[in-house]
A and B are shown apart, each in its own frame.
Chain A
């Protein structure tokens, strides 16, 4: 059996991905997470001295904390199985990646196990986040320098 023939048979046998349904599920899950985030931001703005701009920091912290608790209780994986990218892309997905890796490697000890593997999944997010933020900031600085846009 050559490679092409194998690929053809594999394609025939494997179930088709319900792309449309997955997109709708991701949209709904991601939207719900963001709606909860919006409620938390409104809560901080109404009951504490936070403005729209400064409320984002405690909101992010709260969302990360909630996702951490849900991951610990084994509930976040259910949301992730349903929502796919909708549960992985918001900040809660990042929290889930850190906490689940920590739980998984706890048996290897706190230093080399938890400490060494905590950012196994989330490390790439941090790396590419920093690189892309640096690139965008560099481009914007150049554009501001030439007077194309303003800060």
Chain B
């Protein structure tokens, strides 16, 4: 019984590690080119992975940074936002190094049903504005 419980616990804990892995992952259903976003990611060696969603003038991105760069998350977010705003002037750019945002954007990319993408993106942006 104990062994079964232990195995169950390990599998539950490890199932939390289901991620897209390192590198950049893009979902693009807009007319914009996704190459500038890839360049921004390649130029920055503090980043481990980046998930990008381009949809209807919305650019939402979640980034994971290297362990010791975590202390400069805010600065990295700001720098990335500036670069991406230059690359995508027509888009409303949102960049976050928050785990929740990475998790949500990963979910959108993995989920094949994109019917409520607009609502999902709005929810992500509202989560970032939440102050309490």
Contact = CB atoms under 8 A, between A and B. Distances in A.
A52 B99 contact: yes
Contact of A45 (B103, B123, B128, B132): B103
A46 B12 CA distance: 13
B54 interface: no
Interface of A: 42, 45-46, 49-55, 57
A54 B126 CA distance: 13
B16 A51 contact: no
Contacts of A55: 100
B99 A45 contact: yes
B16 A46 contact: yes
A45 B130 CA distance: 14
5 contacts: A49-B127, A51-B99, A51-B101, A53-B98, A54-B130
Given A45-B103, A46-B103, A52 B98 contact: yes
Interface in B72-102: 98-101
A49 B98 CA distance: 13
Contacts of B123: 49
Interface of B: 16, 98-101, 103, 123, 127-128, 130, 132
Given A45-B100, A45-B103, A52-B99, 11 more contacts: A42-B16, A46-B16, A46-B103, A49-B123, A49-B127, A49-B130, A50-B100, A51-B98, A51-B101, A51-B130, A55-B100
B16 to A, nearest CB: 7
A62 B128 CA distance: 23
A55 B127 CA distance: 11
Nearest to A49: B127
Contacts of A49: 123, 127, 130
- Chain A to chain B: the 9 pairs with minimum beta-carbon distance, closest first: A51-B100, A52-B98, A51-B98, A52-B99, A45-B100, A51-B127, A54-B130, A52-B100, A49-B127
Nearest to B128: A51
Contacts of B99: 45, 51-52
Contacts of A50: 100
A44 B100 CA distance: 10
A129 B30 CA distance: 51
A45 B102 CA distance: 11
Nearest to A42: B16
Contacts of B100: 45, 50-52, 55
B127 to A, nearest CB: 5
